[in-house]
């Protein structure tokens, strides 16, 4: 072999390796589940949970701490007692939730990144709400708006993440009253995927929706879902004024809202998995029903946040067996009502990105995927019970989502006959490495993780003996260096900036939520 040919072949190998290891930022389409769901409850047990939830709504009632909601419920025919406790007739609840759409199509700034939700179709969404972060040097600190932009850029480049979410980390360098404006702009500016909308106050929610109107055009929101609001309940059995006001803002503009009881199992629910689900189900039904009181036919998503509480310390725990069981059960309940549902994914309670974080996250993700969840939130970065978002964990979680995506698609049969033909070609004692079928299909046949090291220990030492955190942070730096901002129409960009400037002048710059201006 000539030296020139050796160089040529070596160069070809290097070129192919570069192609294989280069970041692929094409977003995966909506995940369509090809595996059966896990359903631990039989028909009678599903009905038992259902009837128990309806009895809670009728006999115990739910507190709606909001005078507008109380008047809405009175007009709808609910039994309101003690000023704000609403007792809901089971017939009224079931009649209301019938009008919730079973499917939602989301429209992104880039139409190629539109996604669908409901039935067998699911999306992955990054974590949100972390008051701290672990940065590119793995230092735990308070985040800034620039740090939030970093996470939005990473979310934009992760194939399995279908959304840029909203405040993945809380920008502590901005006054509270103005944060929602800059958070929303960052979501829109740094990614052309779908995003979430802030619901920190009714006025904030209205600002977000006004900005969506600027981005997508007048009247577009009336017939198209472009963002998602999250409204957390105060378990047990309370919905507060801030969340209900934000819910009304989203529903009136026909935008989906997550109706999310916040479960700390054993603290704000009974210390029983089945009874906790019965209470959570009652809370979710009451909010889902209220969305239809606000606007009949508007999209809504059965939501929840699940955690169990350590009876030793009172701290919330992630990855426990009961959380997995509750996910399976809630999936069954949501399918009984034929509404899309949300859960939380890849949760970790560890203080650093370590084995505990990995095991907790993997335990949660397997249950989430096998339970048939549709809106799979907190899918990247969550650690320390949500107190911080780790860049290292963010990029690894995103790759794990790609692995989960591949698994949940199910078995691929399209090349079965071709692959069997290769058996005849190779025969006993041969190998498939050079066969044309292998060459054509190896990249899609078996998932090859970029961030997991499967080399020999000798090769691992030769490559610097890096653990997964080091590899993840290097990968994140490489992604950010190669990031290209998706083009935003200049006129829309200017209009968004002008809106932020105007609202920043109108809203007092204080460290409190804007509820008046």
C-alpha distances out from residue 384 to 353, 364, 388, 400, Å: 9, 15, 6, 19
Question: What confidence score (pLDDT) does residue 10 get?
Answer: 46
Query: Which pLDDT belongs to residue 311?
Result: 80
* Residue 24's pLDDT band (cuts 50, 70, 90): low
Burial of 387 (0-12, 13-18, 19+ CB in 10 A): middle
Residue 376 has pLDDT above 60, yes or no: yes
| Separation between Cα atoms, residue 105 and residue 128, nearest integer Å | 22
Per-residue pLDDT of 281-318, as tens digits, reads: 999 999 999 999 999 999 999 999 988 888 888 888 88
Residue 14: predicted pLDDT: 53
CB environment 62-98: b (16+ within 10 A), e (fewer): bbbbbeebbebbeebebebeeebbbebeeebbeebbe
- 157-178 core/surface letters (b: 16 or more CB in 10 A; e: else): bbbbbbbbbbbbbbbbebebbb
pLDDT digits (tens, 9 = 90+) for 468-506: 999 999 999 999 999 999 999 999 999 999 999 999 999
Predicted confidence (pLDDT) at residue 22 exceeds the cutoff of 90: no
Pairing of strands 79-81, 85-87: antiparallel
Q: In Å, how far are 204, 341, 384, 396 from 246, measured between CA atoms?
A: 8, 19, 28, 33
Pairing of strands 388-390, 382-383: antiparallel
**DSSP run (H or E) holding 140:** strand 140-141
Reading the block at residue 295, the tokens are 């606007």
Average pLDDT over residues 238-242: 97
pLDDT surpassing 70 at residue 19? no
What would the pLDDT profile of 202-227 be if each residue is shown by its tens digit? 999 999 999 999 999 999 999 999 99
> Is the pLDDT assigned to residue 200 strictly greater than 80?
yes
Find the helix or strand (DSSP H, E) in which 119 lies: none
Q: Which two tokens stand for residue 20?
A: 């294989």
In 310-356, where do the E strands start and end? 316-317, 342-344
Q: What is the dihedral of CA 279, 282, 283, 288, to 10 degrees?
A: 160
Q: Which helix (H) or strand (E) holds 497?
A: helix 490-506
Q: Is 222 exposed, middle or buried (0-12, 13-18, 19+ CB in 10 A)?
A: exposed
How much is the pLDDT for 3? 42
Residue 505 to residue 316: CA distance in whole angstroms: 40
Q: For 140, list phi and psi in degrees, rounded to 5.
A: -80, 125
**Domain ranges (residues) in the chain:** 97-409
Per-residue confidence (pLDDT) for residue 443, from 0 to 100: 82
- pLDDT tens digits, 394-452: 999 999 999 999 999 999 999 999 999 999 999 999 999 999 999 998 888 899 999 99
Q: How confident is the model at residue 56 (pLDDT cuts 50, 70, 90)?
A: very high
For the record, the structure tokens of 501 come out as 């400037």
Cα angle, residue 399 at apex, residues 397 and 401 outer, rounded to 5°:
70
- The topology under which CATH files domain 97-409 is TIM Barrel (3.20.20)
Q: For 61, how many CA atoms within 13 A lie in the half-sphere containing its CB?
A: 15
pTM above threshold 0.85:
yes
Mean pLDDT value across residues 453-476:
96
Read off the tokens for 211: 């900005």
β 388-390/132-134 pair status? parallel
pLDDT tens digits, residue range 329-341?
999 999 999 999 9
Question: Is the CB of residue 330 less than 8 Å from the CB of residue 364?
Answer: no
Gap between the Cα atoms of 263 and 315, Å rounded = 13
CA distances from 41 to 46, 328, 476 (A): 6, 9, 42
Reading the block at residue 74, the tokens are 């009175």
- Per-residue pLDDT at 1: 42
Q: Mind listing the pLDDT tens digit for each residue in 137-180?
A: 999 999 999 999 999 999 999 999 999 999 999 999 999 999 99
Q: pLDDT exceeding 90 applies to what percent of the chain?
A: 89
DSSP-derived secondary structure for 211-280:
HHHHHH-TTGGGT-B-EEEEEE-BTTTEEEHHHHHHHHHHHHTT--EEEE-EEEETTTS-SSHHHHHHHH
- What's the mean pLDDT in 126-138? 98
Q: Kindly indicate the confidence band of residue 25, based on its pLDDT and cuts at 50, 70 and 90.
A: confident
Give the SS3 label for residue 61: coil
CB-side neighbour CA atoms (13 Å) of 440: 7
Is the pLDDT reported for residue 38 higher than 80? yes
Determine contact, residues 396/361, Cβ cutoff 8 Å: no
Helix (H, G, I), strand (E, B) or coil at 124: strand
Q: Is 359 exposed, middle or buried (0-12, 13-18, 19+ CB in 10 A)?
A: middle
Q: Name 99's bridge partners.
A: none
């Amino acid at each position: 072999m000539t030296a020139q040919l050796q160089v040529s072949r070596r160069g070809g190998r290097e070129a192919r390796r570069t192609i294989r290891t280069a970041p692929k930022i094409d977003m995966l389409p909506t995940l369509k589940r090809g595996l059966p769901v896990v359903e631990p409850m039989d028909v009678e047990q599903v009905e038992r949970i259902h009837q128990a939830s309806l009895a809670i709504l009728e006999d115990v009632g739910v507190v709606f701490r909001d005078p507008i909601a109380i008047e809405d419920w009175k007009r709808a025919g609910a039994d309101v007692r003690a000023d704000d406790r609403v007792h809901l007739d089971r017939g009224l609840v079931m009649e209301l939730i019938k009008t919730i759409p079973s499917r939602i199509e989301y429209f992104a700034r880039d139409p190629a990144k539109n996604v669908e939700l409901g039935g067998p179709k699911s999306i992955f969404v990054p974590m949100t709400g972390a008051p701290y972060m672990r940065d590119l040097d793995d230092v735990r600190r308070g985040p800034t708006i620039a740090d939030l932009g970093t996470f939005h850029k990473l979310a934009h480049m992760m194939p399995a993440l279908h959304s840029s979410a909203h405040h993945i980390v809380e920008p502590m360098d901005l006054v509270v009253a103005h944060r929602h404006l800059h958070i929303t702009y960052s979501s829109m500016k740094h990614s052309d995927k779908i995003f979430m909308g802030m619901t920190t106050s009714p006025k904030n929610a209205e600002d977000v929706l006004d900005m969506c109107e600027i981005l997508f055009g007048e009247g577009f929101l009336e017939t198209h879902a472009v963002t998602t609001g999250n409204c957390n309940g105060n378990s047990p059995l309370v919905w507060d004024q801030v969340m209900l006001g934000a819910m009304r803002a989203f529903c009136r503009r026909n935008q989906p809202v997550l109706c999310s009881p916040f479960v700390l199992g054993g603290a704000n629910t009974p210390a029983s998995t089945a009874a906790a689900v019965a209470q959570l189900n009652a809370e979710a039904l009451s909010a889902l029903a209220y969305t239809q009181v606000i606007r009949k036919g508007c999209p809504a998503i059965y939501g929840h946040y699940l955690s169990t509480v350590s009876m030793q310390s009172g701290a919330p725990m992630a990855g426990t067996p009961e959380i997995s069981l509750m996910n399976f059960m809630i999936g069954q309940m949501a399918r009984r009502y034929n509404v899309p549902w949300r859960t939380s994914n890849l949760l970790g309670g560890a203080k650093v990105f370590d084995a505990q974080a990995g095991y907790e996250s993997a335990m949660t993700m397997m249950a989430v995927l096998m339970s048939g969840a549709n809106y799979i939130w907190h899918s990247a970065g969550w650690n320390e019970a949500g107190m911080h978002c780790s860049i290292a964990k963010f990029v690894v979680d995103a790759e794990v989502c790609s692995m989960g995506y591949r698994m949940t698609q199910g078995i691929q049969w399209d090349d079965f006959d071709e692959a069997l033909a290769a058996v005849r070609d190779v025969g006993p004692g041969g190998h498939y490495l050079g066969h044309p079928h292998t060459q054509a299909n190896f990249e899609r046949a078996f998932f090859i993780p970029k961030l997991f090291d499967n080399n020999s220990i000798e090769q691992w030492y030769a490559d610097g003996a890096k653990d997964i955190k080091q590899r993840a942070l290097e990968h994140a730096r490489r992604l950010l260096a190669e990031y290209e901002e998706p083009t935003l129409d200049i006129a829309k960009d200017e209009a968004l900036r002008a809106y932020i400037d105007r609202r920043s002048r109108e809203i007092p710059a204080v460290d409190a939520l804007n509820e008046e201006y």
